[in-house]
Amino acid sequence: MSFRDATRGASEPTPAGPARGLRGAARVGAVALVGVLTLAASGCSVKGADNVNVIVGKQMFVAKCGSCHVLTRAGTKGIVGPNLDEAFRASIAEGLQRSSVRGTVEAQIKIPNPEGAMPKELVKGATARDVAAYVAQVVDAPGQDSGLLASAVEAPGAGKPAVEQGGKLQIPASPSGQLAYVATKAIAKPGPVAIEMPNTSGVSHNIAVETGENGANPKGTVLAASPFTTNGTAAVKVTLKPGTYTFFCQAPGHRAAGMYGTLIVK
């Protein structure tokens, strides 16, 4: 499976043909199932009539889905799969109910296209229902999440600057699965430095260093790049002269989505 294949869905938000029909059938099943569960749960719910928790839904969406999908309200910017706001825009404009969107998303989580890049059952059971409910509520919706939903996920890159200590500079990847490091600034002394990127997110990242302060745009010379890791610490050694550098992730789309920062050596 090439990266091109994986991204093809992005330009085809409304695929036609037999695959669509199959997915449609799965969707009807999921909608019916949600109805039954709603009835069964209504007697003992502490989370509202349909027993879903959209706060958990948002957190799990960011953690498990956001690295591959744009969903504006969730602040996610992944490009491996289709942009979800765009994918549902036409149907919602044509009157598709959000309850049906929820069924579609739940069905997609259970039964993604077997030829696509989306792993099945990334979230299960009640958590899958929470994720589907959150996506259905916010997909292609104007404005911003408010109240508890607004603070459900920490803003990416909001941490304090990373500072070199004893020749080591630690810049963790966002533990919540966002395409970001916890800090957007780092400071080191000239000379050799071991750059370490702890990553507990389950999303594959690395850390590379480039000359100049270039933000999202690859412009400078890449001086060093760590291996990739989904769970663990990736490290790379580099010797730096005084100046300004960019650290960034080399996974496709991650830098463009905001996974970079400025390293000052002085």
Query: Which residues sit at the interface with ligand HEC, rule CB under 6 A?
Result: 6, 9, 13, 64-65, 67-69, 80-82, 84, 87, 105, 108-109, 112-113, 116-118, 122-123, 131, 135
Contacts of 165 (CB under 8 A, 6+ apart): none
Tell me the closest approach of the beta carbon of residue 68 to ligand HEC, in angstroms. Answer: 3
**Contact in structure between 147 and 223 (CB atoms under 8 Å):** no
SS3 letters across 6-57? HHHHHHCCCCCCHHHHHHHHHHHHHHHHHHHHHHHHCCCCCCCCCCCCHHHH
Q: How far is the CB of 35 from ligand HEC (least distance, A)?
A: 20
Judged by beta carbon, residue 80 or residue 171, the one nearer ligand HEC is 80
When the beta carbons of 153 and 183 are compared against ligand HEC, the nearer one is 153
Q: Residue 74 or 240: which CB sits closer to ligand HEC?
A: 74
* The amino acid at 205: H
Give 14 or 217: the residue with its C-beta nearer to ligand HEC.
Answer: 14
- Residue 179 or residue 263: which is nearer to ligand HEC going by CB? 179
Minimum CB–partner distance for residue 100 and ligand HEC (Å): 12
Considering beta carbons, is residue 126 or 194 the nearer one to ligand HEC? 126
* CA 159 – CA 59 distance, rounded (Å): 18
Q: How far is the CB of 172 from ligand HEC (least distance, A)?
A: 20
Q: Closer CB to ligand HEC, residue 112 or residue 212?
A: 112
β-strands 185-188, 162-163 pairing: parallel
| Beta carbon of residue 236, minimum distance to ligand HEC (angstroms, whole number) | 25
Kindly state the smallest distance separating residue 242's Cβ from ligand HEC, in Å.
40
Phi, psi torsion values for 63, nearest 5 degrees: -70, -40
Contact of 262 with 184, CB cutoff 8 Å: yes
Find all residues with CB under 8 Å of 93, minimum gap 6, and list them. none
Contact indicator for 223, 179 with CB cutoff of 8 Å? no
- What's the CA dihedral at 44, 47, 52, 58 to 10 degrees? -160
Least distance in angstroms from the C-beta of 10 to ligand HEC:
8
- Can you say how many angstroms the Cα of residue 60 is from the centroid of all Cα atoms in its chain? 10
